[in-house]
Structure formats: structure tokens, C-alpha cells
Amino acid sequence: MNAAGLSVPLSTLERCFQGIIPSLVATADAEGVPNVTYVSQVHFVDDRHVALSRQFFNKTTRNLQVNPRACIELYDPVTFEAYRLRARFVREESSGPLFESMSLRIQVIASHTGMSGVFRLLAADVFEVEAVERVDGFLGQLSSDEPGDVFAAAGFRTELQGLQGVSERINRAEDLESLLETVLEALDTHFGFDHTMVLLHDEACGKLVAISSRGYGPEGIGAEIALGEGIHGTVAREGKVLRISGLDRELRYARAIRRETQLEGAPVAPEIPLPGLPDACSTLAMPLRVRDRLVGVLAAESRDPLKFDGWDEGYLQVVGNQIALGIDRMHERSVTIDRDVPGPAPETPASSRAPAAQPAAGPKHTFCFYRNDDCVFVNGEYLIRNVPGRILWKLLGSWARDGRTEFTNRELRLDASLGLPPIKDNLESRLILLRRRLEQKCPDVRLVSTGRGRFALAITGAVDLVEKESA
Amino acid sequence: MLSDALVRQTLGPGLSVVVGTADASGTPSCCRAVGLVVDASAQGVTVYLPVMTSAAVIADIATTGRVAIVSSNPVDHSTVQIKGCRRLVRVAGAEDLPVVRDLLDRLADTLETVGLSKRLSRSLAHWPAFAVEVDVDTVFDQTPGPRAGNLVKGK
């Protein structure tokens, strides 16, 4: 018996509480008629208590109101051992840290499957655990004809060295782009997080924008997510770290509810595509904050349902704080550097202006700017929108009218028509985004750094500019 | 009772089956089953419980006769709960062994589609087993969502 009086301490069953294998809950009504149901996750509260999420008022709830006794069966997803908890329903919580922690997870899944408001936590039902027994013989002798277990146990950890490595790279970074790239590389090297993404908060449009990623290829860059939407948007809005194991199963569960809800005729929103791995089984996302200000979100995914545990959550928060401070420092540094760069050149007299020379041969690209939403398409494909879209249009316009190819960050900051916020304008991140989107969609048009706070527009081939009111 | 196509679909082989019971004082118990087979009469089912893991459940059934059985598709979570009374509890015999093995194989096929290796799921306790024959009184929809708990069949 441990201090809590249980033969198996609940704290030793951490893997059972990660929601990877559904648990069973049996209850009985006042007449002793049994009811049994699956629950997606049993939450560890403390050494004597667990909690179940209540999303619907169901038979289990009704039974517990007249008979508080419950039998809960949990499964370890690594060893596949089973444990039975004899428990007594003691209270429901509809506010407070436990409720909020359980609610966040449900909000994220609901938002991701277009079920916000329909699929939500009504209460956290808290149970006192009176006895725990290991179910002997649940798993027999493993057959030897098929090699390999489904889940790999956690590997050797060198987190402290990893933290040191990440810190060094943040400190050595010369600019925001190299900071983000090297940090994600370090997370891969030191922690084995091979699918990661940083989304920065764009206060001007109130969205998160994917600015840097590792393991996904270039396609996800520029993806926008509103605060409160999906996993990353919910983490950003709530300001809380979220770790979900068994993500694939949670999404299947939510989609079952979505299907049932649609059959009932209730409206549901279109599902938001998950940025990143289509077959992710676990995810860890955390807000990047400097004091109370949201800088962005750091997210990691894995096909391994047990990739992230409580320890990862803890040290990744340390890494996250350093990344947030690093991003902030890079923005400050960029502004300081730009102050030292001479302002925009005096406007060229009209008589001296020379439109850019278009080559006779080579690829031809058509850029179209839609004024109603500041959106730029290239060759009929979406390229970029909002402030980076306006910046691109300004650069291309200057090039086409006057043949200009050299620009400074400072002149962009001084141009009110671009709509950059007066403070914390994130210009550097917007230029990174623009550069990367051009690399993906039109590599013949490039932004090339020419020194601190300066860059050039390098164009190969012919470019046509078209401006329209709307699509 | 169990002739409805939808009900039979959620009681078919390859699904995840669990059993709940309560003792005379109302203390519940539960365990996993290997699977179930719908009777030819469509009025009852035979559910197979591993001897190693079902002692409390079998004791409850012997005492109260009441059984709740949930059958769920792990892929899409379509689920039904049937409730009924014990007709017979027996130790599964040699004639049941091919049935139990087939139920386990079909379950392993399904679980593989949601990421659980066949090596692991085929190693789940399954034999020796109790065969619990149950007369079904009621069938409830238990697919997660607003209709969970709706009565499908019975009174």
C-alpha cells in the first residue's frame, strides 16, 4: 500500500491516463441494472482521484446521481497491462484548473472538426479511487511470428544537453530566419522532434501565420489560422500548452459525434485541415509569449502516439520561452538596424524614370493584385495576402515603373500605405514569409539580402502586373 | 429483437465488445470480451469472456443475471449497448474454440486498422473462456453524440 492507501499508486499509471486506448466505465442504476461504456480518456487528478469528461448528459451520469459507485478499467498502451479501479463519484467541477485543462483539450478537438459549441465539456466528474487492481492474465504470451511491438518505449534522454544546444543556437542567431531554422533543427537533433512548426502572431490581421517548419516541406509556409481555430489557434487564444496523445483516435471520436450531430440536423462548420502530418498520432503545441504578449505558437507532431509526455511538456516550455524572447529580440534588433540605414532615396524625377526592361525571352509571370482583400496571385495561383501582399505589390510597382531593384526595410516602415503596425510591426517575419512564398510559387522573382536592413528584388524573365478590384 | 440490419452491423464480428455487470449491492464491474455471436433466433447473443479476466463479472451474472454488453467499431465509433438477462453461463467447450479464435482474428484485423499490431491483439486473453448466453431485452444506440442512449429496440 502506498501513502494514498492504494496497492498500485495512480501516479505510476501515467501512460494509462494519456487517452491512447479507450477506458471502460461501468455503473449501475438504483435497481442494480448495469451500464457500461467506453470513455476516451480518464484524467489523473491526484494520488486518490481521477476525473472523467462529461460532454453529454448520458446514462452514466444518471446512474452516478443515484449510485455513485463505478468500475473503471484502464490500459497501458506500452505494456498492454490492464488495471481496474473501484471508484466513487464525489463531485462535478464546471470551473477551475481541472475543468479548464480538460475543456481545452475538448475545445481543440471540437474546433478542429468544426464542432465548436456543439461538442464541449459540460463538467469534470471527479471520482475517489478506493482500490486499484492489476488485471492478471489480460495479455497472454506474445506470439513470436510477427516481429515488433506497436509502440516504442521512450528512448535515451539528453534533455539538458538539448536545452543547452537550443539556447546556444538562439543566442548565436543573426536574424529571425536563421533563429527559427536553427531552433527547429536543434529540436530535431537533440529531442527527436522531427515535425515542428512555428506560427507567428500577426496582430494586424489577428491570425497566426506559419513562418517556419521542419519535416513538412515548404507547402505549409504561409498557412493562416485564426485565434481560437483548430489546435494552434486554440492554444494561442487560451495561452495554455496542449499535449494530445492518441490524436488520431480523438479525431475519429469527434468525427463520430459530428456525423451524429449532422444526422440530428444541427449546423456544423467546415472542418479546418490540420496543418502538418495528416496521420499525426500525438501533438504538443504551446503559446510563445513575452510577458502577456502573444508572439506565436510552437507546435510539434509525431506519428508515435507516445512521443510527448509530461516531461517533454515541461522542458519544451523552457525552450518555448527562450524562442519567444529570441523572436522578440530579433524584431527589436531589426528595428534598431533599420534606423541606421539611410532613408528612402529622393523620388526620381519623372523625366528620369525608366520602366524595367523586360527580357525578350524567358518565362513570363503574371502577378494579379486584388484590392478588396490585398491578395496577390501569381500565374493564377494564390501567393500571399495582407501586409506581405501589399509589400510585394509596392516592390513590383516600383520595379515596373522606375526600374528600381534596391530597397530598404526602413522605407517600408515609413510607408503608411502598407499598414504596418506602428510598434512591433514584425516586418522581418513578413519579409521571410514573402521570400519563402516566392521561392515556392515563383522562384524567378526573389528577395535577396544585400546587407543589414537592405534587400534587392531579383527578377528573371518577364513580369506582367494586373490590378483588379476583386476576384 | 436483433434482426434489424443496423443492429446486426454493430454486433457483427471484428468489433470491440465489453461487458458490464453489478453485484447484489449495486457495485459494478466490467471486463473486455473476446466477442459475441448473435443467436439464429435474433433474440439473444452468446458473449465470450476470458476466464482469466472475468471472475467478478461472472460472479455478478451468477448472482443477479443482469448483463450490459457494448459492441463498438473502433474505426468509426458506431456503438450499440444491449441489455438482457442470463440464459446460461457455461465454460466454452471444444466446439466453441474455432468461434473464439475467429472472433479474436477478426478483432485483430479491425484493431490493426487503428494502429494496434496483430501480434499484440492476438495475444489478448481469450482462452479458456466462459460462454454467456443472454436473452436481450433492450438495444440502445451508444454512438458518441446527441443520440447516444436512444432506445433502438425493446421496452
- Interface check for A66 against chain B (CB to CB < 8 A): the answer is no
Alpha carbon distance B26, A62 (integer Å): 14
Alpha carbon distance A397, A391 (integer Å): 10
A447: which 3 cell numbers? Answer: 528577395
User: Could you tell me which CATH number the domain at B5-154 has?
Assistant: 2.30.110.10
Bridge partner list, A449: A455
A385: which 3 cell numbers? Answer: 495576402
Q: What is the ipTM of this complex?
A: 0.95
Q: What are the structural domains of chain A?
A: 10-135 (2.30.110.10), 159-263+276-336 (3.30.450.40), 350-468 (1.10.10)
Contacts of A25 in chain B (CB under 8 A): 30
Find, among A284, A230, A257, A232, the residue nearest to A53 by Cα.
A257
Q: Model-level pTM? A: 0.65
Domain range list for chain B: 5-154
Q: Which DSSP helix (H) or strand (E) runs through A395?
A: helix A386-402
In sequence order, what are the residues at sequence separation of 6 or more whose Cβ sits closer than 8 angstroms to the Cβ of residue A167?
A: A322
Find, among B63, B100, B95, B52, the residue nearest to A134 by Cα.
B52
Contacts of A260 in chain B (CB under 8 A): 143-148
pLDDT tens, position by position, A367-387: 999 988 888 999 988 888 888
> Please, which residues 86-105 of chain A have a Cβ atom closer than 8 Å to chain B?
86
In sequence order, what are the residues at sequence separation of 6 or more whose Cβ sits closer than 8 angstroms to the Cβ of residue A207?
A: A201, A224, A225, A226, A227
Mind listing the pLDDT tens digit of every residue in chain A (471 residues)? 555 678 889 999 988 998 878 899 999 999 999 999 998 889 999 999 999 988 876 899 999 999 999 999 999 877 888 999 999 999 999 999 999 888 887 877 777 666 666 677 889 999 999 999 999 888 876 554 444 443 333 343 456 667 777 777 787 788 888 888 888 888 888 788 889 999 999 887 788 888 888 888 777 788 888 888 888 888 898 888 888 877 777 777 766 766 776 666 655 554 434 457 777 788 888 999 888 889 999 999 888 877 787 767 777 777 888 888 888 888 777 777 776 666 555 555 555 566 666 666 668 899 999 988 888 999 988 888 888 899 999 999 999 998 899 999 889 988 888 888 777 778 888 899 899 889 888 999 999 988 888 899 999 888 999 998 877
B72 and A80: CB-CB below 8 Å?
no
B125 and A140: CB-CB below 8 Å?
yes
Q: What pLDDT is attached to residue A115?
A: 66
What is the pLDDT averaged over residues B91-114?
A: 91
- Interface check for A149 against chain B (CB to CB < 8 A): the answer is yes
Q: Residue for cell digits 537550443?
A: A166
Alpha carbon distance A376, A384 (integer Å): 5
- Confidence tier at B51 by pLDDT (50, 70, 90): very high
Distance from CA of A172 to the nearest CA of B (A): 42
Sheet with A293-302, strands from edge to edge, namely A224-226, A207-214, A196-202, A293-302, A282-290, A242-245
Please name the member of A59, A82, A150 whose beta carbon is closest to the beta carbon of B120.
Answer: A150
Give the pairing type, strands B44-50 and B35-38. Answer: antiparallel
C-alpha distance from residue A60 to each of A250, B3, B31 (Å)? 20, 27, 17
- Confidence tier at B16 by pLDDT (50, 70, 90): very high
B145 and A35: CB-CB below 8 Å?
no
B124 and A139: CB-CB below 8 Å?
yes
Find, among B56, B38, B131, the residue nearest to B87 by Cα.
B131
Question: Which DSSP string corresponds to A135-162?
Answer: ETTSB-PPPSSS---SSPPP----HHHH
A56 and B148: CB-CB below 8 Å?
yes
Distance from CA of B55 to the nearest CA of A (A): 10
Alpha carbon distance A436, B43 (integer Å): 65
Please name the member of B29, B118, B147 whose beta carbon is closest to the beta carbon of A146.
Answer: B118
B145 and A257: CB-CB below 8 Å?
yes
- The vertex-A82 CA angle with A80 and A88, nearest 5°, equals 145
